[in-house]
Amino acid sequence: MRPGLRRSVVTAALATTAVLAALAAGPGSAAAADPQPPQPHRQVQVEIPGPESDTGETLAGSGHALVPSNGQAKPAPHLSAPAAVAADGQVTKMIDHGSTADRLDVVIVGDGYTADQLAQFHADAKEKWGEVTGVEPYTTYQNLFNVWTVDAVSAQSGISGDPAKGDVKNTALGAYFWCDGVERLLCVDQDKVDSYVAKAPQADLVIVLANSAKYGGAGYNEPSKTLGYEGISTASAGNAKSGQVAIHETGHSLGKLADEYAYPGTPGYEHYSGPEAAQSNISVLSADQMTAQRTKWYRWLGETSPDGGTVGAYEGGGYYVTGLNRPTDGSIMRVLGKPFNLPGVEAMIAGFYRHASIATPGTSTDRTLRSYDIARVTVPRLAGARQLTVRWYLDGRELKRFAGRTAVPVWGLGLGRGSHALTVRVTDSTPSVRDPEIAAGLRGAVEWEVRR
């Protein structure tokens, strides 16, 4: 969970875990959690995915729970240690789009896969990442990502709580359904997850795939203090809807977006009367007030949104039935299977650029380039027709004849005596970003010292 309103409005109403399960679990889940013994590890807040629906809308969430960070809420039967096999902890770069320093690195770890099921894990990881990149703005910006898989070998196949609540499996990450008494809430042992994530060269976002077809997932959206990643999304590898849970959770971790659904019928969430929300996609303001104050998503008002309908100020959001407004009626921050709305797409792109750079030196900047050198820059390609703008400058003066090129020979610069500064600037002028502050971050530059 992120600091600010999203944390405060939830924790104010969730005095105990048992109360949370009773009030927020919603249809299709247990009415209350079982009594919980004292835990040696801290508790963390996770988002509960909405109840599975075969017809109509499946809400993205139905509440939050405080769960132990170290796995099962109740002691599990004694199980033997995971098999010591050579494959355990093996790292593979599934998607390679460049240096970890300049790309957003996603680490996918599987749980409930035995040594002879690792090929299935890798196939599941490719399938789920394909589902992620099928949603904008991931589709356009997929070349900004590296994807790593880390093999976690489990002693037993499957996941605890599948198919029945009492089923316990000995798995590498200790994933289990029925977390906090909610069947679809799929929790993990964060310490075990981190022990595998740490094997990858870099982690900005973590996805845990459970070897199960049962619907479920969870969002651990508090950034890691030790490894630095933005959050953990859990999902069932064999369930088509669970992948949407993971995409929704990246809206929180990368986009810093609030949930756009409400808790109807839940005491304390009938009406919000606090200050303006910190998140970019919920507001106490009406559309007219946003326009007058030139704030929030006023630049998108009246536009047709990818999730359907027109961007406006729709009542309900941030868990409250009234008092907070959302940009559209049904984005993925409210309904699974829907796209991000226009303000959400903008926020996600901003999140991508917090980790990725669009200008990577292909020629070292650590030495002075001479006439026989070629200055090279690596620029990722965007999906579709639109591409990034590349411009070259010598001592601040644009070299228009080199516009769009990613390699420039030093001998062709017409250098005078002494040292000079050669700079390449790469800009993303996407129409999906209208906020000037966000647009200012969609740039990259590399500079070399050159000499005749």
What are 180-239's pLDDT values in tens digits?
A: 999 999 999 999 999 999 999 999 999 999 999 999 999 898 889 899 999 999 999 999
- Quickly name the fold that domain 5-253 has: Collagenase (Catalytic Domain) (3.40.390)
Report, as an integer, the average pLDDT of 71-80: 45
CB-based contact 346:435 (threshold 8 Å): yes
Which is higher by pLDDT, 61 or 451? 451
Neighbour count for residue 434 (Cβ, 10 Å):
16
Is a pLDDT exceeding 50 seen at residue 13?
A: no
What confidence category does residue 48 fall into, taking pLDDT thresholds of 50, 70 and 90? confident
What confidence category does residue 20 fall into, taking pLDDT thresholds of 50, 70 and 90? very low
Q: Treating both helix axes as pointing N-terminal to C-terminal, what angle do 342-355 and 242-253 enclose, rounded to 10 degrees?
A: 70
Give the DSSP letter of residue 81.
P
Write out pLDDT tens, residues 421-443: 999 999 999 999 999 999 999 99
Tell me the two tokens of residue 416.
Answer: 């005078």
C-alpha 296/C-alpha 287 separation (Å) is: 10
Write out pLDDT tens, residues 381-390: 998 877 899 9
C-alpha 341/C-alpha 321 separation (Å) is: 20
**Which CATH number describes the domain made up of 358-451?**
2.60.40
What does the mean pLDDT of the chain come to?
87
C-alpha 157/C-alpha 171 separation (Å) is: 7
The pLDDT value given to residue 92: 98
SS3 235: strand
CB-based contact 63:1 (threshold 8 Å): no
Is a pLDDT exceeding 60 seen at residue 24?
A: no
The set of residues, in sequence order, having a beta carbon less than 8 Å from that of 439 and lying 6+ positions away, is: 429, 433
Report, as an integer, the average pLDDT of 91-103: 96
Write out pLDDT tens, residues 239-287: 988 889 999 999 999 999 999 999 998 999 999 999 999 999 999 999 9
C-alpha 131/C-alpha 177 separation (Å) is: 23
User: How do the domains of the chain map onto residue ranges?
Assistant: 5-253, 358-451
Which is higher by pLDDT, 310 or 1? 310
C-alpha 225/C-alpha 385 separation (Å) is: 39
The set of residues, in sequence order, having a beta carbon less than 8 Å from that of 27 and lying 6+ positions away, is: 51
